[in-house]
Structure 1
Amino acid sequence: MYLLLIAHILQSSVLAVRSCPTLCACTYGSSGTAELRLVQCSDPGILVVPINVPADTVKLRLEKTLITRVPRAAFYNLSELQFLWLGYNSITSVHPSSFVNLKALRELRLDGNLLTSFPWEGLRDMPQLQTLGLHNNRLSSLPAHAALFLPNITYLDLSSNRLTILPAQLLDLWFPLQGGQQERRLKRRILGLHDNPWLCDCQISMAMSLSMSLGSPVVLMDQLLMCSRSLDQSAMLLTQAELSRCMRPSVQPAATRVISPLGSNVILRCDASGYPTPTLTWIKTSSYADCCQQLILENSEQLPKNLESFMQESPRVGVRWSIITLNGLSYKDAGEYRCQARNMAGISEAQIKLKVVGVTKLLHLPKKKSLKTPPKSSLKYGKPNRNPATINNSSVKENQILQNIKPPSNNKTQTVPNLVPKVFPVDKYNKITKMINAKKKSQTSIKSTPPVNSTTALLSTTSLKYDEDGQGQ
């Protein structure tokens, strides 16, 4: 019994996989050795997208029906689907999540419907998509953000719509600047832009001229594009409109790197040229962070951010310059600034890096203390002592010696104070004493000689010069 239940479940699942939706035709097509499931639904009685399409379907065609909308996750179970044709129905809206899980889809066609807008962000769910057909709808605008979701598209048909302006962002995608694609081969793209009421401006003129240039990565399905000066005027061939002066802007900054001290004032300037005259915008895109500025930068404003600037046109047509002033620089002002120029022909920008450095204070070195010259009294008995403390001590000792000398008496014999322990060795002192006594004896014969002062005698006697060893010269 259990085996019969399992067999019934397997049989039901197989029938569900191989069953074909009502009013549809299911066939197999060969691709090499593999057989591919093809499902075609073209009955006018079909009002909604079928939900029981076999899961192994590779190509699904829902054409010439009365389907008016494509709901969310309408093809979620068709993970092997590679071709989805929804042409010539009555579709007026497509949900942004209609194409979820279509990882293998390579071709999507919505030609001949009533679409006034298309969910370009829904292309993210189809990473392998290369062909997108939107011919013969009612699209009146092509948003700039569409360029973000079209890098992999190599075939885009926008013909027979109501488009008037081609965004500059798409020009940058289809016709990148020289050097922008370094060492990388550009993709060849096929564009259908004809049968639209284009305005005679620089975007469509630029696309036309670039597509006709040698080695262009873009090929137009039809080069006979029509344009008009305004929506009310009659159209003319784009080649007949005099739009040769259209030029993508170029930007030249006054300096690419600026280093300024903390608290100073800085003026950043850039010049732009192009036709029509471009508009200039200043954007701060990043800040510098290091160990000393991290706390300040954490509290700074979110980047990137637009900055207020002063703009001035030049007397020459198509030339304009702009400046921004930064007063009292702080560390949060450091970073990368971009001057962006934009006109109808495209966008270009220049980069300026500003570095703020701190102010270093000069430190005054302390004055050197001059050594005091030793007193003259310290030089009487030999060479001076180089140590100031020793010099001071020796001068104190000499003062003590002079104070201990007693005044002279009337006696003929005078004694010299005992100075031996304080100044000289004993043998040297004895020699000096003998010399003094001998001199005094020679003076005692004269009675009128005034008494000799012991201090004077000592100083006059010691006027002899002695070297370091105490030897007389």
Structure 2
Amino acid sequence: MLLLVLLYLVQSGVVEVLPCPASCVCTNGSTGAADLRMVQCGDPGMSAIPVNVPANTFKLCLEKTRISRVPRAAFFNLSELRFLWLTYNSITSVHTSSFVNLKALRELRLDGNLLTSFPWEGLRDMPRLQTLVLHNNRLSNLPPQAALFLLNITYLDLSSNRLTILPAELLDLWFPLPGLQEGPVQRKILSKVECDLRHTCDKNFILFNCFGCVGLHDNPWLCDCEISLLVSLSMSLGSSVVLMDPLLMCSRSVGQSGTLLTQAELSRCMRPSVQPAATRVTSSVGSNVLLRCDASGYPTPTLTWIKTSAYTGEQHGLHLSEEVRESPRVGVRWSIISLNGLSYSDAGEYRCQARNMAGLSEAPIKLKVMGATRLLRLPRKNSKPTFSRSLQRSRKPSKTPAAAANESRISTGLQTQLEGS
């Protein structure tokens, strides 16, 4: 009787039965929403992501298959998906747009694959993502721009890869400079033991005490100043990060292979110091000016210029094409800006900023642009002489008294001679 009722409901459209992909198992969800499904696919012969996964799937697990790539918009119709596990397959590439429309996704796992790179910018398509697991891959490089897309990640597992260094941008994310910390300080734990996620798809997983965990163990870290900063910051009083992993080791440093990170003799980072060639420069309109600053620190700092207009107060960074940069030796760098044909708009404050993993320093240079020097103006020549000038030219020059007397005597003498004759 019950079977006949179910058959009637299906035929009448009251209950919609969605198909399950071949070689997969579909079960009803246990999240409080009976209409959501969990789909598990573990066929060793499967070589592509199935395209007919039910749209009401909240958890999709593809594990131990022959899948080698994740194409563009592979899960576009799964807008309800919250957990995506692509674990222990043969995945070598993930398209930047693979995760389009996964607005509800909370957890993405790609551990146990063959990834040499990861499309970090693709995290923008998953605004609610909190857990990202890349354990046991072949990642050898962590690009600086990755930090831009990890702001909402509370668990990041990078363990068992081929990473050697951490970019400064990630340390800025975990250890913001004083004054740049927004909101209350959140303690992060860089560890392995409490946050190990190795389990199979058929088990639900809940993170306990792992808010802000970052797994870094089992990587060939280059133990130098940069990694020493991570250790010193994590051990400082009031730090937002606690380093708890005892297995974090130096594996590629000369003479330090197999040394525990906390026991390695590491060089210390040195905050940059900046020295401008001059703090005030005054020049005239149309002239050429060179602005130079020198910086030292360890690691070798990077230099950037920021200009504040003297008239509008606006700030903007100068393009690299406007700079000449040289690195004569490790730890020292200098930069020159060449300003040709000065105009009044070039006036203002130029700040030379030096930055490395240990901090940020800057020095200002004020440029004043003066008006051009004015030359004495000569009287303009007229082609037609004026009446007064013509009159002056027609007059004979006046005679001196001596010349007039001499001329009178000569005239009198001539007249006497004429009368005597």
Same fold (TM over 0.5): yes
Which residue does 1:180 correspond to in 2?
180
Which residue does 2:194 correspond to in 1?
none
Tell me the distance in 2 between the aligned counterparts of 1:289 and 1:52: 62
In structure 2, the CA distance between the partners of 1:53 and 1:286, relative to structure 1 (3 Å rule), is: farther
In structure 2, the CA distance between the partners of 1:288 and 1:57, relative to structure 1 (3 Å rule), is: farther
Instruction: Find 2:324's aligned residue among 308, 317, 321.
Output: 308
Which residue does 2:50 correspond to in 1?
50
Which segment drifts farther, 101-110 or 280-289? 280-289
Task: Provide structure 2 residue ranges, at least 5 long, that are not aligned to the other structure.
Answer: 1-8, 189-211, 377-421
Which residue does 1:235 correspond to in 2?
258
Which residue does 2:371 correspond to in 1?
359
In structure 2, the CA distance between the partners of 1:310 and 1:78, relative to structure 1 (3 Å rule), is: closer
Are the equivalent residues in 2 in contact too, given 1:171–1:203 (CA < 8 A)? no
Task: Please state whether the residue corresponding to 2:30 is helix, strand or coil.
Answer: strand
Which segment drifts farther, 250-259 or 191-200? 250-259
The 5 Å alignment of 1:345-356 reads 345=357, 348-350=360-362, 352=364, 354=366, 356=368
Tell me the distance in 2 between the aligned counterparts of 1:23 and 1:220: 43
Give the partner amino acid of 1:42. G
Task: Report the alpha carbon displacement of residue 128 of structure 1 after superposing the two structures with TM.
Answer: 1.4
In structure 2, the CA distance between the partners of 1:163 and 1:281, relative to structure 1 (3 Å rule), is: same
Are the equivalent residues in 2 in contact too, given 1:262–1:331 (CA < 8 A)? yes
Per-residue CA deviation, residues 402-460 of structure 1 (Å, 9 max, x unaligned), is xxxxxxxxxxxxxxxxxxxxxxxxxxxxxxxxxxxxxxxxxxxxxxxxxxxxxxxxxxx
Tell me the distance in 2 between the aligned counterparts of 1:239 and 1:163: 18
Which residue does 2:149 correspond to in 1?
149
Which residue does 1:29 correspond to in 2?
29
Tell me the distance in 1 between the aligned counterparts of 2:187 and 2:262: 26
Are the equivalent residues in 2 in contact too, given 1:38–1:59 (CA < 8 A)? yes
Which residue does 1:341 correspond to in 2?
354
Task: Report the alpha carbon displacement of residue 170 of structure 1 after superposing the two structures with TM.
Answer: 1.4
Per-residue CA deviation, residues 264-284 of structure 1 (Å, 9 max, x unaligned), is 6656454534324x2453435
Instruction: Find 2:295's aligned residue among 272, 283, 286.
Output: 272
Does 1:329 pair with 2:329? Answer: no
The 5 Å alignment of 1:387-466 reads none
Tell me the TM-score normalised to structure 2 length.
0.68
The 5 Å alignment of 1:66-145 reads 66-145=66-145
In structure 2, the CA distance between the partners of 1:13 and 1:342, relative to structure 1 (3 Å rule), is: farther
Give the partner amino acid of 1:201. D
Tell me the distance in 1 between the aligned counterparts of 2:175 and 2:358: 10
Tell me the distance in 2 between the aligned counterparts of 1:255 and 1:190: 47
Higher-Rg structure is 1
Which residue does 1:400 correspond to in 2?
none
**RMSD between superposed Cα atoms in Å:** 3.8
Task: Provide structure 1 residue ranges, at least 5 long, that are not aligned to the other structure.
Answer: 1-6, 291-300, 365-473
Which residue does 2:191 correspond to in 1?
none
Tell me the distance in 2 between the aligned counterparts of 1:108 and 1:324: 46
Are the equivalent residues in 1 in contact too, given 2:347–2:369 (CA < 8 A)? no
Give the partner amino acid of 2:270. M
Per-residue CA deviation, residues 176-203 of structure 1 (Å, 9 max, x unaligned), is 1111125554574211111111112222
Tell me the distance in 2 between the aligned counterparts of 1:113 and 1:122: 18
Task: Please state whether the residue corresponding to 2:250 is helix, strand or coil.
Answer: strand
Tell me the distance in 2 between the aligned counterparts of 1:75 and 1:232: 48
Which residue does 1:404 correspond to in 2?
none
Task: Please state whether the residue corresponding to 1:308 is helix, strand or coil.
Answer: strand
Identity over aligned residues, as a percent? 67
Query: Aligned pair count?
Result: 341
Which residue does 1:405 correspond to in 2?
none
Give the partner amino acid of 2:261. L
Tell me the distance in 2 between the aligned counterparts of 1:160 and 1:310: 37
Tell me the distance in 2 between the aligned counterparts of 1:11 and 1:195: 54
Does 1:281 pair with 2:303? Answer: yes
